[in-house]
Amino acid sequence: MPTSRSIVIGVDSSTQSTKAAAVDADTGELLGIGRAPHTVTGAGGARESDPEEWWTALVTAVRAAVRDAGVPAASVTGIAVAGQQHGLVTLGADGRPLRPALLWNDTRSAPQAAALAARLGGPASWTARTGSVPVASMTAAKWQWLRENEPERAAAATGVRLPHDFLTERLTGQAVTDPGDASGTCWYGTATGTYDPDVLDLIGLDKALLPTVAPSGATRVGTLTEAAAEALGLPRTVAVAAGTGDNMAAAVGLGLGGAGLLDHPVVSLGTSGTVFAATLARPADPGLAGFAATDGTHLPLGCTLNCTLAVDRFATLLGLDREDVTPGGEVVVLPYLDGERTPDLPHAAGLVTGLRHGTDPRAVLGAAYEGAAFTVLHALDRLLAACGLDPADPAVRDRPLRLIGGGAQGRAWTETVRRLSGRPLVVPAATELVALGAAALAGGAVTGADPVALATAWGTGNGDVLPPVTRDEAAWDRIAGVLSAATPTLLGGPEPS
């Protein structure tokens, strides 16, 4: 293969693993994939990973992708990292992590989040400033938890990074982030495009500890350091993009820009469930994450903690294959095994109700799917309303959903989402949209091209359309009723007034 062929590498560093995609920069052809696992530890709300393992996994995955593609290392021209959002990485004087990273789904910081949300004018003020109200997943709450519980480590920190920032810095030696991932910290102002000095003062975080915010995730921030080039087996001339968060990269991979509300809002079924839409408007809803897109436009997002992993846990407990399901019927499951983010119930546990002597275990598993899908789709309704649309309007409800993530490949997931939404679904043929979006960012760093236009030309968001089925209003109303009745208990006390 001629070395003049331009290959770009997109890295998806997620909660559970790293995936690297080797992509032809001109055609978008996926030439090779590499994978490596991560270890997540913790109990009682704690979820941590060693950032050094992320770097080792990145090296392993990139080398495997290049090998799988069968291309010479000299043909690789660019690389970008998309990482799990919100995680807190603290660096010491040697530039190495002081402790394991606090991950997005670590809920120990819920008390700190609640205390922060009450400050600076309350939730409405936070939404106006940063686009989001602090919840346990947000990085500002995790930093506050560290200050209160491990003050010596917080005091020793010489750098504070997000997961993708940490990896980009290992590639280039440059401390840099992008507007998209920065918007998930609650210390970056989506209205101003800068770090919010009042928030930084409130949480005792020196701006000097933070990375520079590049104009976009496709901004070329440097080339590989000698050490990174040697580790990856790539030329030092490889351009490195600023990169972004995983949800922002998925939007790029789908070819979604900030040209107004999407005809196809996105539902992502992974470890977490997410719903998002790209828009020029800046919707303000304290119940949503008002993220920036990687280009500085807007990517409002609703996120649930319990999605595919929680449902798989129910399958294991019941001794069933994940596809061995029937609709839940009378059974209702709220699979909030890790607390929940949307709705904001950080101390919640899973709830099962409606069991009878004759209940089929497959119906219990089906109810777990329904509970998880309901929670995600309920967040979607809230997102649409925040963007000025009525979710009950047939013209809005008839718009297709783009269904992505690992769950989109499963029959039980797709059929449950179809039945509870009543919408047609578009399931993109590409399954590594975060890595492909990162590859488009790498292509932008190499050529200066708009990465969204590049991904659109590649066709990575194209896929089959599943026609709608009649919406299961009875199941929807049954789950909504149980959630409403159970909320005071799930909060751990009386519902706040």
Catalytic positions are 246
Cβ-based burial of 225 (10 A; exposed 0-12, middle 13-18, buried ≥19): middle
* HEC readout, the chain: CCCCCCEEEEEEECCCEEEEEEEECCCCCEEEEEEEECCCECCCCCCEECHHHHHHHHHHHHHHHHHHHCCCHHHEEEEEEEECCCCEEEECCCCCECCCEECCCCCCCHHHHHHHHCCCCCHHHHHHHHCCCCCCCCHHHHHHHHHHHCHHHHHHCCEEECHHHHHHHHHHCCCEECHHHHCCCCCEECCCCEECHHHHHHCCCCHHHCCEECCCCCCEEEECCHHHHHHHCCCCCCEEECCEEHHHHHHHHCCCCCCCCCCCCEEEECCCEEEECCECCCCCCCCCEEEECCCCCEEEEEEECCCHHHHHHHHHHHCCCCCCCCCCCCCEEECCECEECCCCECCCCCEEECCCCCCCHHHHHHHHHHHHHHHHHHHHHHHHHHCCCCCCCHHHHCCCEEEECHHHHCHHHHHHHHHHHCCCEEEECCCCHHHHHHHHHHHHHHHCCCHHHHHHHHCCCCEEEECCCCCCHHHHHHHHHHHHHHHHHHCCCCCCC
Could you count the other beta carbons within 10 Å of the beta carbon of residue 15? 21
What gap in Å lies between CA 312 and CA 306, rounded to an integer? Answer: 10
Structure tokens at 450: 């708009």
Q: Which residue has the tokens 């990292």?
A: 81
Torsion angle, alpha carbons of 262, 263, 267, 268, to 10:
-60
Q: Which residue has the tokens 């903690």?
A: 305
Distances 182 to 278, 393, 433 between C-alpha atoms, Å: 17, 34, 20
What gap in Å lies between CA 130 and CA 303, rounded to an integer? Answer: 17
